[in-house]
Amino acid sequence: MTPVLGMLLYLVAGAIWVVVGDWLLERWLQGSAYLNHWRTCKDWLFVLLTALLARWLLARMRRAEQLRWALSHELAQIVRHAPVGIARVEPHTLTVLWANDRLCHWLAAPLHGLVGQHFRELAIPVDGPLATHQLEDLLQGRIERYQGERTCRPRDGGKDLPVLCIVSLVPASAAAPAHLICVLQDLGEIGAARAALSQSQYVLRLALEGSGSGLWDWDLRTQQPTYSPSLLRLLGYHGNQHVGDNLLRTRLHPDDRERIEAAVGRAIAADVPFDERLRLQRLDGSWCWFQARGQRHLDALGQPERFSGILTDLSARRAAEERQRLAATVVENTIEGVIVTDAQMHILSVNAAFSRMLGYAEDELQGMTPRVFKSGRHDKAFYQAMWDSMARTGHWQGEIWNRRKNGEIFPERMSLSAVQDAQGAVTHYVCMFTDISEEKAQRERLEFLAHCDPLTELANRLWFSEQLQDVVLQAQRSGEQLAVMLLNLDRFKDVNGSYGHAVGDQVPQHIAQQVRSAMRPGDLIGRMAGDEIAIVARNLRHADGAAAVARNLIGVASRPWHSPDDVAVVVGVSVGICMFPEHADSAQGLLQGAHAAVYGAKARGRGAYCFYSEQMTLEARQRLELEARLRQALVLGHLSLHYQPQVEIATGRIIGAEALVRWLDPEEGMISPARFIPVAESSGVIGAVGNWVLREACRQGQRWRQAGLPELRIAVNVSPRQFHLNDVAGNTGQALAESGFAPRLLELELTESALAERPEEARQTLLRLHELGVTIAVDDFGTGYSSLAHLKRFPIDVLKIDQGFIRDVPQSGDDMAISAAIIAMGHSLGLEIVAEGVETAEQLAFLRERGCDLFQGYFCSRPLPADGFAELLQRNRQALGEA
């Protein structure tokens, strides 16, 4: 309440008291002698009441003054002794109006020296423009206060003091105009605290990184995790890569998730330590093992507040443990024996392989020395050299003989090493050894095999050639005459096919024994191949002597060999002879000559001998040359196909063609198939040639179809060697697929000999071809093994009568009877019959009379190239009146 208002209230109250009191007294005591008396009492009562009121007001004023003084004193003490600097500043001019003692002390100036000074010159802002902008916002009422870092610069030139300045605006009042209150806080102590905290954090970070660990902290209330940089680096994060809130959970291995979540739940609920091994996926996708240790933390109310701990990389530790485990496993499971002794050679441990090889259990050897294994085969010098090597290098390796528990002496390859401590003193010896008994026996066997044939125990090809080379050198010096004879076993394949290879191996053993028993002193013998034995007959006077030796060898080789069924089998040999120096003057030349002579002996019949001649070598060279040219012709495209028509006898219409390979050499011209096909058969080139013929015939047949010609059945010959060595069914399917030619229009021609050799294998191949839809024909029928019981097992569609039975028709009654029988037999089996080599009208008339289905031969046409055959086909259609 203001004094004026109080005075007015007092005057109003006094006037009301006088007027109202007098009116009431006049009304109540009218005419009474005590009226004045009561008026006097009323006046004194008013004076008393006002005196009491004055006394109460004075007491209140005194107490208020005392409170104000105490408050002022307390405020003065707070401002004087506050740990912060305080200044009152004029808001527009920024001059200092007042400053407390702390600020005066910082600025090294008395209060009167600061009053009137510009505040920004005393407390310089770190960012002046920002401070100006903040002051404008404060004066405009947009903010209540602002703060910023400043530097207090003492007036005496002392050290600058960094401070934090908080500025607020005090509005104008009746007592004082508007002014700024600036509170400055010393940042020196805060900086020191920050530095100490930073140093502590740095030390902690170094400790964590040095330990290979990272820190995590999980706020259980907000469910927000915090991860240290070292933990993120453990998981492969770098820089500012996005981490995500549930890093550890999302990267936890699925197999560990249930166990780890249960352990975390127990640690939070029951305050048990969390200590688990787990797998986490690094950022690069790899899985690593970690050790996680943590504990919950409670708030003031005893509720779980945080869950924190450290994560340690176990990769190196687990790798070391794995290496140690692996090393122990290797030692225990290695096939080498391992024994460990102390520095005094007392046995400490042995592995399982040691016990198996020497027969001792580990507990039997405790405290013993390796002298118990000494074999007695090595002298003192041997062991002295061993320990001298140990002293120089700390290692010894070599072969040694030792003794097993049962007394058996055996060889071993041993490696002895010394184990040293950090000071270089020997602490242990480790010995590793391998039983080489079998190795030595194998070495002896290999040495035998290097020189001898394991089946016959004769010298092998290499050793025999070396011996022959030495003999030839001696003969060149001494003028000795000798002969190299190559014995080739007759019917060896028949024996293998009849009794199998296991029994058939006894044949060369039998022949070797017989031949060795008939050899003269000084002669050499060796096995050159599976069915070839070589003999060197020395000290001969002339070729007749070599012939006599050959006849003798043929005689002893023809002695019967008895099979397991006690069947006497005579194999026999054919002998090729090459004389030194008449036929050849080198070991290689003698062997080549004898090999060539064997073919001459085979040509004369079984059990014969033949001397080498130059013509044999010439023919062999010609065959090799022709083979090389044939391979080149296949690559360069010098081969082509000619087609001989197959004509339906009843109508005269061409319904097929046999594809025949032709070779046009750029230099020699046309080379007869009779010349190069046998070479292709013997060399194996027939497989590549046959595949080319098959693919080319299918492509040509498809081209004719696409050209609008009537459908033709293309016949392709398959040689016996091609049939058995190549995948004919697979190659046929591939050729049909590549060309698009219809399988029903392809006919494969096989000879009877191809079917007779390995009949079951041949039957399976024909069944596969039949599944493809290919027609199967037997070519040159009647010249081989013509058995109905044999043929009916095969899926055959066509029989081709060999031209040898057609050539003399109608002059030869026998050929006519055979041809008629083949036609009748084929028809009875439901087969189509084709006659080859038809050259005359009489031959065709005979075949028509006997009901033959098709014919081919010069009577219709010679084999023609593809273009010529297409023209022939067009003429045939025109002659028959076909469109």
Closest by Cα among 248, 273, 252 to 263: 273
Closest by Cα among 760, 848, 754, 854 to 801: 854
Taking the CB of residue 134, how many other CB atoms lie within 10 A of it? Answer: 19
Query: CA 727: distance to chain centroid?
Result: 33
Distance CA(376)–CA(384), nearest Å, equals 15
DSSP, collapsed to helix, strand or coil, labels residue 634 as: helix
Closest by Cα among 280, 305, 303, 307 to 291: 280
Given a contact cutoff of 8 angstroms between Cβ atoms, the answer to whether 382 and 399 are in contact is: no
Contacts of 48 (CB under 8 A, 6+ apart): none
Distance CA(714)–CA(559), nearest Å, equals 52
- DSSP code of 567? -
The reply to whether omega before 254 is within 30° of 0 (cis) is no
H-assigned helices in 362-491: 362-365, 380-393, 437-451, 461-478
pLDDT value of residue 628? 87
Given a contact cutoff of 8 angstroms between Cβ atoms, the answer to whether 104 and 111 are in contact is: yes
3-class secondary structure per residue, 767-827: HHHHHHCCEEEEEEECCCCCCHHHHCCCCCCEEEECHHHHCCCCCCHHHHHHHHHHHHHHH
pLDDT value of residue 504? 67
Given a contact cutoff of 8 angstroms between Cβ atoms, the answer to whether 656 and 714 are in contact is: yes
Given a contact cutoff of 8 angstroms between Cβ atoms, the answer to whether 724 and 755 are in contact is: no
> Within 13 Å of residue 759, how many CA atoms lie on the same side as its CB?
11
DSSP, collapsed to helix, strand or coil, labels residue 667 as: coil
3-class secondary structure per residue, 290-347: EEEEEEEEECCCCCEEEEEEEEEECHHHHHHHHHHHHHHHHHHHCCCEEEEEECCCCE
Read off the tokens for 491: 């019917």
697: left (phi over 0), alpha (psi -120 to 50) or beta: alpha
pLDDT value of residue 79? 66
First to last CA, the chain: 140
Read off the tokens for 775: 């027609």
DSSP 76-102: HHHHHH-SSEEEEE-TTT-BEEEE-HH
Distance CA(331)–CA(338), nearest Å, equals 7
Cα four-point dihedral sign 371, 377, 383, 384? positive
Model's pTM, two decimal places? 0.43
Distance CA(833)–CA(650), nearest Å, equals 13
Q: Which residue has the tokens 């787990």?
A: 278
Distance CA(510)–CA(583), nearest Å, equals 31
Distance CA(685)–CA(634), nearest Å, equals 9
Average pLDDT per block of 10 residues along the chain, 883 residues long: 70 78 74 74 80 80 77 67 85 90 87 88 89 90 90 87 91 84 84 73 68 79 83 77 72 89 87 87 87 86 86 78 72 80 89 87 86 88 90 90 90 90 88 86 80 87 92 92 90 65 75 88 89 91 85 87 71 89 90 88 81 70 82 91 94 94 91 87 85 95 91 92 86 94 94 78 89 90 60 86 88 88 89 93 93 94 93 89 65
Q: Which residues of 161-196 are buried (b: 16+ CB within 10 A; e: fewer)?
A: bebebebebeeeeeeeeebbebbbbbbeeeeeeeee
**Diameter of the chain by CA atoms?**
207
Distance CA(670)–CA(660), nearest Å, equals 13
3-class secondary structure per residue, 858-875: CCCCCCECHHHHHHHHHH
Distance CA(411)–CA(444), nearest Å, equals 14
pLDDT value of residue 211? 62
What are the CA-CA distances from residue 308 to residues 189, 311, 723 (Å)?
Answer: 30, 10, 80
Read off the tokens for 340: 């460990």
Point out which residues pair with 281 in neighbouring strands. Answer: 287
Distance CA(482)–CA(472), nearest Å, equals 9
Q: Which residues of 101-125 are buried (b: 16+ CB within 10 A; e: fewer)?
A: ebbbebbebeeeebeebebeebbeb
pLDDT value of residue 241? 63
Point out which residues pair with 482 in neighbouring strands. Answer: 580
DSSP 96-113: EEEE-HHHHHHHTS-HHH
| Phi (first) and psi of residue 178, to 5 degrees | -65, 140
Closest by Cα among 650, 687, 653, 693 to 845: 650
Read off the tokens for 595: 């090999």
Distance CA(780)–CA(784), nearest Å, equals 8
* Residue type (1 letter), 490: D
Given a contact cutoff of 8 angstroms between Cβ atoms, the answer to whether 715 and 645 are in contact is: no
DSSP, collapsed to helix, strand or coil, labels residue 840 as: coil
